[in-house]
Amino acid sequence: MLIGDVNDAFSPFDLPPAGCSYPHLFCRNFDGLPLISLLPDVESIRDTPRRETLLRLLQSCSEVSLALYTTEHFEYLLKEPGEANVAVVVPTYNIAGFVRATLESIRRQTDPNITSLIVDDGSSDGTDAIALEDLNAHSSVMSACLLQIPHVGWPSVSRNVALYNLVPKNAGYITFMDGDDLYADPNAIGALKASLENHPRAFAAYGDYDWISESGAAMKPAGELVKKITGGYAWKASRSLTWKNLALGNHGVLHFQTLMVRKGVPFIPYHYRGQDSSFYAHLFKRSAELYEGQLTGIIQVPSLVCHYRVRGKSISNDGVQDQSRVLETGGQKPVKGWQRPDGVKRYFDDMGIPECYLTDDTISLWLAKQWVNEALRAMFRGNFPEGLAIIKASLRDVRVTKRHLIFRGLRDLATQLGHPRVLVETVKRARSRLKGV
């Protein structure tokens, strides 16, 4: 750990070092560290060719030099820890045009006890410099640190480095925000924290998110919440947190950016994509183990937490990343876990969903959602041929009935088409792909 629970060995500075490029920041250099030593449970990075590639990459980083920058307020809290604060984990990589707005949205939060933990994954576009300039300008009022690591390309690595090396001793809660997204409300963190304070048996709480475009314009409203006449939001009954809804996939997209956990939760699974849902799965199963099969450990908060920025070059939306995965698997498109014959059962087991929900009908409904999501995601990237290929593959899947596929496909397609900006963005990407841009 660089900071973590061994704060006693991490001496706070009194004054920033002379000659620093950022006169209001403190800088510590760690030389000759193996990057893999900063990560938990590295032996779990196996099972797939892509994870084996990650393991070899980490093992090759045997002696790296890391620079850790901290703000004046961060140093002050190391000396004078107050009440339990919230640590916000912020992974960044080549998002120079967005990171300043993200940090500003964190500063706008009404909770006064927030520390930002930024891990830059070897950006080449100056993202780290822009973030450091921002921290330098707000050093006395913003508790934050920024760690520069060599480029790995896996957000789960950046998040785990932050979780296991940068969380201050007095942090009681941990939340997550990607470096290109925004908090949707000044009380977003406060609402999650209050829910955990009011439910002492719970160890996790999450809200909802909406979509914004690359320029910040509204694209798609929150899908799981409804506005109340009296003000505020309520969760849709069809989206409430129950084992049945989890088994049917009626829980929307589970994002890190809407989640808060108590300090001490397990590490984040080493996935390139889908680490959000895998982490939530661990949380659901942990609740089942602690509370006799109940979901008591997780709270749904009726709050819009995050503006999720849809970008063409993000890991979630960039088709180029899929092409690299094909190369890594010998020219064959990689098979996702749920596409394997035992994939659904493994997924249900990972989530702790009771076996009584593992029926042919439930499996069919759940798979229909996965296939439709894959097809619509490809089409949203402008890759209509891939979307059609996925639809054809879904029709060959004997585990899912055609009526479930048709119903889910028509419903989700109508939902997407009901948001003009989503349609405009899809057409724009399709035209760019045809032009070879």
Give residue 15's pLDDT band: very low, low, confident or very high (50, 70, 90). low
Q: Are 167 and 265 part of one and the same domain?
A: yes
> Where are the strands (E) in 194-327, listed by range?
204-212, 218-220, 225-227, 233-235, 259-262, 298-309
Q: Are 304 and 402 part of one and the same domain?
A: no
Q: What is the DSSP string of 250-264?
A: TT----GGGEEEETT
Distance between CA 393 and CA 388 in Å, rounded? 9
Q: Are 70 and 194 part of one and the same domain?
A: yes
Residue 332 has pLDDT above 60, yes or no: no
Mean pLDDT in residue range 48-66: 81
CB atoms within 10 A of CB 412: 16
Asked whether residue 53 is assigned to any structural domain, the reply reads yes
Distance between CA 165 and CA 238 in Å, rounded? 39
Q: Are 270 and 144 part of one and the same domain?
A: yes
Show which of 309, 325, 351 is a domain's final residue: 309
Distance between CA 161 and CA 34 in Å, rounded? 12
Written as six digits, the tokens of 179 are: 């470096």
Show which of 271, 286, 309 is a domain's final residue: 309
Asked whether residue 387 is assigned to any structural domain, the reply reads yes
Please give the distance of CA 281 from its chain centroid, rounded to a whole number. Answer: 13
Domain enclosing residue 421, as ranges: 359-435
The shares of helix, strand and coil residues in the chain, as percent rounded to the nearest 5, are 45, 20, 40
Q: What is the pLDDT of the chain when averaged over all its residues?
A: 84
Q: Are 366 and 282 part of one and the same domain?
A: no
Q: The domain spanning residue 26 has which CATH number?
A: 3.90.550.10
Most confidently modeled range among 2-16, 44-58, 106-120, 152-166: 106-120
Distance between CA 87 and CA 176 in Å, rounded? 8
- Going by C-beta distance under 8 Å and a sequence separation of 6 or more, which residues neighbour residue 156? 268, 269, 270, 271, 272, 275
User: Which residue do the tokens 């393991």 mark?
Assistant: 55
What is the structure's pLDDT at 167?
87
What is the structure's pLDDT at 351?
85
Asked whether residue 337 is assigned to any structural domain, the reply reads no
Mean pLDDT in residue range 159-173: 88
Q: Are 264 and 122 part of one and the same domain?
A: yes
Q: Are 260 and 405 part of one and the same domain?
A: no
What is the structure's pLDDT at 384?
85
Asked whether residue 220 is assigned to any structural domain, the reply reads yes
What is the structure's pLDDT at 248?
85
Q: Are 68 and 155 part of one and the same domain?
A: yes
Over residues 347-357, the pLDDT tens digits come to: 888 888 888 88
Residue 320 has pLDDT above 70, yes or no: no
Nearest to 184 by CA among 155, 161, 216, 160: 216
Show which of 309, 324, 346 is a domain's final residue: 309
Q: Are 282 and 420 part of one and the same domain?
A: no
Written as six digits, the tokens of 404 are: 């479930």
Residue 418 has pLDDT above 90, yes or no: no
Q: Are 253 and 168 in contact (CB under 8 A)?
A: no
Residue 379 has pLDDT above 80, yes or no: yes
Q: Are 362 and 404 in contact (CB under 8 A)?
A: no
| Predicted TM-score (pTM) of this structure | 0.86
Tell me how long the chain is.
437
Q: Are 71 and 208 part of one and the same domain?
A: yes
- Going by C-beta distance under 8 Å and a sequence separation of 6 or more, which residues neighbour residue 263? 87, 167, 171, 172, 173, 174
Q: Are 348 and 247 in contact (CB under 8 A)?
A: yes
Residue 122 has pLDDT above 90, yes or no: yes
Asked whether residue 348 is assigned to any structural domain, the reply reads no
What is the structure's pLDDT at 6?
45
Least confident of 54-63, 300-309, 368-377: 54-63
What is the structure's pLDDT at 284?
93
Asked whether residue 267 is assigned to any structural domain, the reply reads yes
- Is residue 6 classed exposed, middle or buried when 0-12, 13-18 and 19+ CB atoms within 10 A define those classes? exposed
Q: How many domains does the chain have?
A: 2
What is the structure's pLDDT at 159?
92
Q: What percent of the chain has pLDDT over 90?
A: 41
What is the structure's pLDDT at 78?
76
Mean pLDDT in residue range 300-326: 66
Distance between CA 432 and CA 430 in Å, rounded? 5
Mean pLDDT in residue range 84-108: 94
Q: Are 266 and 372 part of one and the same domain?
A: no
Residue 76 has pLDDT above 70, yes or no: yes
Q: Write the CA distances from 390 to 319, 338, 343, 356, 364, integer angstroms.
A: 14, 14, 17, 30, 16
Asked whether residue 336 is assigned to any structural domain, the reply reads no
Over residues 241-272, the pLDDT tens digits come to: 999 988 887 776 688 999 999 988 777 888 77
Locate all alpha helices (DSSP H) within 199-255, ordered by sequence: 243-248
Least confident of 317-326, 367-376, 398-407: 317-326
Q: Are 285 and 395 part of one and the same domain?
A: no
Mean pLDDT in residue range 323-345: 61
Asked whether residue 190 is assigned to any structural domain, the reply reads yes
